[in-house]
């Protein structure tokens, strides 16, 4: 079999451009696969009764993890009044902006771990969160760490609405900022 030969300089240039485009396409595909695609979609979350303790917990976690200011404000408003006063919104936003990795997650509510409080103004929600942390590596190579953790979150009823009163230590949210403000219930 005879290899094609390029008789004109123009055909050599065209052939070189085709080879370069093919190589760039391969590199882009590799980087997309290495980086990964968004694994979380709000449409994958269970549909919960609006205003229920479980929906408050779900909204808090979703809002906190988006990172945009309006969602952070919504997450802050889901904290009990005592915790909103002890951690002003600017401090709460500061904590969110200083996390060290990108984090995707999905939520589930293990039925065997749910229970009701005897006090009608308190509720406890157990949520299982599967985190996927994406840490940037050398030259766009990323590492992905996947883990599932289960958390029990305490809520209280204030003015007819459920608010988060206590978050567990293992939720992965920093408790203090530099001035000593306690920003986690």
Residue 182 lies in a domain: no
C-alpha Rg value of the chain to the nearest Å: 24
**Residue-range definition of the domain harbouring residue 28:** 9-38
Answer whether residue 21 shows pLDDT above 90. yes
Instruction: Tell whether 34 and 108 lie within a shared domain.
Output: no
The pTM (predicted TM-score) of the whole model is: 0.65
Instruction: Tell whether 75 and 162 lie within a shared domain.
Output: yes
CB 124 within 8 A of CB 157: no
The position carrying tokens 């920003």 is 183
The predicted model gives 15-22 an average pLDDT of 91
H-run or E-run covering 172: none
Instruction: Tell whether 109 and 127 lie within a shared domain.
Output: yes
* pLDDT digits 0-9 by tens, 68-108: 888 889 988 998 888 888 888 888 787 776 655 556 667 77
Instruction: Tell whether 103 and 139 lie within a shared domain.
Output: yes
Distance CA 77, CA 70 (A): 11
Instruction: Tell whether 103 and 19 lie within a shared domain.
Output: no
Instruction: Tell whether 47 and 138 lie within a shared domain.
Output: yes
Instruction: Tell whether 82 and 130 lie within a shared domain.
Output: yes
What secondary structure letter does DSSP report for 108?
E
Distance CA 128, CA 102 (A): 19
Instruction: Tell whether 27 and 87 lie within a shared domain.
Output: no
CB 110 within 8 A of CB 126: yes
- The tokens for 71 are 């969602």
* pLDDT digits 0-9 by tens, 134-185: 666 665 566 667 777 788 888 899 999 999 887 776 565 544 444 445 565 5
Instruction: Tell whether 76 and 59 lie within a shared domain.
Output: yes
Instruction: Tell whether 112 and 144 lie within a shared domain.
Output: yes
Q: How far apart are the first and last CA of the chain?
A: 75
Instruction: Tell whether 72 and 13 lie within a shared domain.
Output: no
Instruction: Tell whether 30 and 98 lie within a shared domain.
Output: no
**Total domain count for the chain?**
2
């Amino acid at each position: 079999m005879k290899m094609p030969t390029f008789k004109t300089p123009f055909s050599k240039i065209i052939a070189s451009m085709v080879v370069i485009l093919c190589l760039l396409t391969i590199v882009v595909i590799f980087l997309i696969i290495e980086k990964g695609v968004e694994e979380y979609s709000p449409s994958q979350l269970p549909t919960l009764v609006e205003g229920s303790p479980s929906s408050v917990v779900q909204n808090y976690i979703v809002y906190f993890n988006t990172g945009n200011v309006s969602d952070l404000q919504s997450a802050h408003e889901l904290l009990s009044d005592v915790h909103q006063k002890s951690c002003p919104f600017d401090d709460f936003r500061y904590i969110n902006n200083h996390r060290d990795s990108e984090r995707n997650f999905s939520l589930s509510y293990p039925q065997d771990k749910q229970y009701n409080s005897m006090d009608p103004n308190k509720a406890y929600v157990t949520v299982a969160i599967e985190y996927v942390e994406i840490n940037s590596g050398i030259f766009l190579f990323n590492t992905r760490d996947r883990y599932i953790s289960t958390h029990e979150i305490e809520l209280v009823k204030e003015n007819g609405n459920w608010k988060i009163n206590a978050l567990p230590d293992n939720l992965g949210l920093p408790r203090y900022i530099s001035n000593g403000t306690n920003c986690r219930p």
